[in-house]
Structure 1
Amino acid sequence: MRSSFIKIPLEPYVYVERRSDESLTRVLKLSMNLSGGNTRTLVFHFNLFLSGDQLTYTAERCPGLRRLVLPAWNRIKKTGICKAIRIWKDLESLTMPSIANPPYLFTEIANNCNNFKELKIMGPFEIFFADTLISCLPNLKTLSLRCSAINREALIKILDGLKDLEVLNISHSYLVELSGWQPQKKVIVRELDEVILEKASRLKRFLTCMEHETCVMCQRTENDEGIVRWYKYEEDDWKVDEVSSLHL
């Protein structure tokens, strides 16, 4: 299921039609009633824009949730997602978009979700995001940053700072670093250097693909500037992950 929406220039950057919202509410009510509070996994389409009220309603009726796939957060405010996280004490895995202010979210996860171990970020990965992960979720086991623009320094921070990390997926991503001659200019790096490979050697699995000349998915990531426009491609492409536990 997906929302019927139009893009708008101001936050939340999408306007969802009323009938579409009402249809989603009916589906959520029916699904939650049928599950009897036993839902363990929730997967939402990347073009399904939940409101904060819809998320709260869902969270209250599946308190034992362990895996959440929610790629679109446009209409969900900080208070809404934090309230849901406080309910989901058993949450282990989260697929989410890249957000500008991650501390509020990861602090809630750290304080409420003792079994949390797996994270997938859909979108650019910057230094601030890496620092927040290291500070709030130092015991993270699995991290997927596939199909993203990854700041090289942020990647090194993750490899150094997440001591318990076992699986890291950066397939179809490219690295970005600042130019030594022009500090404001970003340079795209299409291969991994010895420093990164050495640091990653401690991992159980380090998944990569940077074949930008031959790999269609690598080319798409670069053409879309590290924020893949999934709507342009095959319907189920956004569900793919080289990490089996994150693949849909």
Structure 2
Amino acid sequence: MEGDDTKKWEDLDTDILVKIFQTFDIFEMTSGMAHICSAWRYAACDPLLWKTLDLSMLKSNFIKIPLEPYVYVDEPSDKQLTKLLKISLNLSRGCITTLLFHFYQYVSDYQLTYTAERCLKLRRLVLPAWNRIRKTGIRKAISLWNDLESLTMPSIGNPPYLMEEISMHCKKFSELKIFGPCDILMVQTLIRCVPNLKVLSLRCSILKMEVLLLILNGLENLEVLNISHCFIVEDSPPPATRKVVEKLDNAILEKGSRLREFFTCMDDSCVMCQRTKADEGLMRWYKYEEGLWKEDEVKSLVV
């Protein structure tokens, strides 16, 4: 029609397109819309859209197996993650500073190193299970993340190699959250490798009293400690093997009061405390509400 000045989608201002794209989830952003036209492609690569790559809603379809790596991830599930990573990392053009994986996302060595090479500005990482990641893979990734400040991760059986890599390459590192047990070796490694650690969260896990004391005495620059809903135990003389601590004594509370924030919860009426106690400090997150693992009393650690 003559005189029709109706704008087409591809004629919208880039700022407007970016605002629209900000309402899309990762599946919509990687659905192929960037190929519709050059204007959409340009807007889809805007840095505002790619500060955070949130894959925390995507978990692997897996079964447990008796041999290493102790899980088998089916091929369609693996291919879906690889596809999402490749499209996202292509569109983001190196702008991603926060990368979030699901607690039950079993990332492969290739997927992690591929991502690391294209996320050189990464500052915060929520890492999934270690099962399919080799030492060489995590070492390579950490060596590329010189700006890494915050890491959320499952427990690791051999912490020195990981923290030594962080010590060498991540000079701004200051924040750590661990899912699962934190033992004496882990804390000793933190004291040696990352003495400037400011924030530590061990919520909803088993925690020995000797480990808690070492944290409070040894991490001299620690400002925030979260042990909310922990299943706290102390060794007892034989024949007893351990004693469950029902209440923190005044000496622990006094040491904790020196921190800027010391989060504790050992309330029998607290649902999360009840769940941690029922699981004996080894949380089976799959039994509970989806996304419950994302919570934390430390705001900067919430996923």
Asked if these proteins are the same fold (TM beyond 0.5), I'd say: yes
CA apart distance, 1:182:
3.2
CA apart distance, 1:222:
1.2
Matching residue of 1:34: 91
CA apart distance, 1:20:
1.2
Matching residue of 2:119: 62
Query: Are residue 201 (structure 1) and residue 257 (structure 2) matched?
Result: yes
Per-residue CA deviation, residues 116-137 of structure 1 (Å, 9 max, x unaligned), is 0000000012111111111111
Matching residue of 1:91: 148
Query: Are residue 236 (structure 1) and residue 291 (structure 2) matched?
Result: yes
Q: In the alignment, which of 263, 268, 275 is matched to residue 220 of structure 1?
A: 275
Cα distance in 1 between the residues matched to 2:128 and 2:84: 19
SS in 1 for 2:139: helix
Per-residue CA deviation, residues 62-86 of structure 1 (Å, 9 max, x unaligned), is 1110000013111111111111000
**Identical columns (%):** 63
Cα distance in 1 between the residues matched to 2:211 and 2:265: 18
Give structure 1 stretches of 5+ with no counterpart.
Answer: none
Query: Are residue 152 (structure 1) and residue 242 (structure 2) matched?
Result: no
Query: Are residue 106 (structure 1) and residue 179 (structure 2) matched?
Result: no
Per-residue CA deviation, residues 177-229 of structure 1 (Å, 9 max, x unaligned), is 1112437x122212111221121121000001011x21110111111121111
TM-score normalised according to structure 1 size: 0.97
CA contact (8 A) 1:71 1:122 kept: no
Runs of 4+ deviating beyond 4 Å:
none
SS in 2 for 1:245: helix
Counterpart residue identity of residue 148, structure 1: S
Cα distance in 2 between the residues matched to 1:118 and 1:195: 25
Matching residue of 1:189: 245
Counterpart residue identity of residue 224, structure 1: D
Counterpart residue identity of residue 154, structure 2: P
CA contact (8 A) 2:107 2:128 kept: no
CA apart distance, 1:47:
1.1
Query: Are residue 51 (structure 1) and residue 108 (structure 2) matched?
Result: yes
Cα distance in 2 between the residues matched to 1:34 and 1:151: 45
Give structure 2 stretches of 5+ with no counterpart.
Answer: 1-57
CA contact (8 A) 1:130 1:155 kept: no
CA apart distance, 1:27:
0.6
Cα distance in 1 between the residues matched to 2:75 and 2:271: 37
Counterpart residue identity of residue 191, structure 1: K
CA apart distance, 1:10:
2.0
Q: Number of residue pairs matched? A: 246
Counterpart residue identity of residue 223, structure 2: E
Matching residue of 2:185: 128
Q: In the alignment, which of 108, 112, 115 is matched to residue 172 of structure 2?
A: 115
Counterpart residue identity of residue 204, structure 1: R
- Structure ranking higher on relative contact order (CA contacts 8 Å, 6+ apart): 1
Cα distance in 2 between the residues matched to 1:15 and 1:174: 30
TM-score normalised according to structure 2 size: 0.79
